[in-house]
Amino acid sequence: MSRRFHLPAATVLMACGLLNSRPLFAGNAQPRAMVNPAAESHIVAPKPQYTFENRKFVYSVQWHFLNAGTSTVEIQHAGSGARVVATADSAGMSEKIFKVHDLFTASLDTATFCTWQVEEHNQEGKKQYQETVALDYPHGKSRVDVKNVKTAETKHTEFDIPACVTDVISGFFYVASLPLAPGYSEIFPVNDNGKTTDIEVKVESRDRVKSPLGQFDTLRVKVEPVSGPMKGKGVLWVWFTDDGRRIPVQMKSKLGFATLLFQLQQISPQPSGK
């Protein structure tokens, strides 16, 4: 059962999905001190005062100035951990060409930022499939089960994983938690469909961005795979507000021939503070 590079999930990488120790999600938690980025790929655990707040982001998606659909990302409390739920739905002309209705759910350990399970329910064109990725850190394995909804065909695979990884949605929150400033860079592992890729983030500049919610002073962050199965398959830029909230107001992806622009339309509930 073949799997292509997952466009909706990868596009909102780090990617929205966005879990951090900033006031947007952490109340009075203080930002981390500026540090030199480590050369090796790793996940930095949040500080003890880090807390999660339920939050939902709604984005419009444009493809060459055409309405391509809507994407949402929501953070939810889940027992002692947290859950990140993302959707992607095509609209307009793009839906007539290639209908997309995807649901992505990641479960996280809030003490470490490690993802421990991912579930996907996807309808892409005529294909419908379900996938569960269980991240077994004690044994260093990801265990992937995929089911073709139409044919009932199933497939089980396993891959080696490092001691801690994030995923293509929750990684967005992880990036927002880093001490972002122009010139800063970091490399960390992201798991997609069971396979791990090292992702490099670089803060390129400060930009003034006009969005449907107003104008914002932002930090433009470039996100690019540097090793693993996603290497060379695309680049993502994320514009986070240049304040303690780190609101992701805009994203732009280039994946092959496709260039998609995501613009924030709504946040609920509204974050407080600057």
Q: What is the pLDDT of residues 128-146, one digit of tens each?
A: 889 999 999 999 999 999 9
Which pLDDT band, with edges at 50, 70 and 90, does 39 fall under? low
Mean pLDDT, to the nearest integer, of 194-210?
Answer: 95
Distance CA 258, CA 62 (A): 10
Neighbours of 186 (CB within 10 A): 21
Q: Is 2 inside any structural domain?
A: no
Which pLDDT band, with edges at 50, 70 and 90, does 119 fall under? very high
H helices then E strands: how many in the chain? Answer: 4, 15
Mean pLDDT of the chain: 80
Tell which residue, 183, 186, 174, 150, has the closest CA to residue 246.
Answer: 174
Which pLDDT band, with edges at 50, 70 and 90, does 270 fall under? confident
Which pLDDT band, with edges at 50, 70 and 90, does 227 fall under? confident
Planar angle of CA 106, 114, 138, nearest 5 degrees: 110
pLDDT higher than 80, residue 213: yes
Q: What is the pLDDT, as a whole number, of residue 10?
A: 36
Q: Is 57 inside any structural domain?
A: yes
56-60, 162-166, 212-216 — most confident range? 162-166
Q: Is 274 inside any structural domain?
A: no
Instruction: Report the number of distinct structural domains present in the chain.
Output: 1
Q: Is 133 inside any structural domain?
A: yes
Which pLDDT band, with edges at 50, 70 and 90, does 211 fall under? confident
Q: What is the pLDDT, as a whole number, of residue 30?
A: 33
H, E, C per residue of 195-229: EEEEEEEEEEEEEEEEECCEEEEEEEEEEEEEECC
Mean pLDDT, to the nearest integer, of 215-236?
Answer: 89
Q: What is the pLDDT, as a whole number, of residue 84?
A: 93
Distance CA 193, CA 241 (A): 30
DSSP designation for 173: H
Q: Is 273 inside any structural domain?
A: no
Q: Which amino acid is at 203?
A: V
Q: What is the pLDDT, as a whole number, of residue 28?
A: 31
Distance CA 195, CA 229 (A): 7
Q: Is 200 inside any structural domain?
A: yes
What percent of the chain shows pLDDT beyond 90? 48
Question: Domain containing 66: what range?
Answer: 7-268
Q: Is 141 inside any structural domain?
A: yes
73, containing H or E segment:
strand 66-78
Mean pLDDT, to the nearest integer, of 234-238?
Answer: 91
Is the preceding peptide bond at 8 cis, omega within 30 degrees of 0? no
What's the start-to-end Cα distance of the chain, in Å? Answer: 48
Q: What is the pLDDT, as a whole number, of residue 91?
A: 67
Planar angle of CA 199, 58, 71, nearest 5 degrees: 60
Which pLDDT band, with edges at 50, 70 and 90, does 272 fall under? low
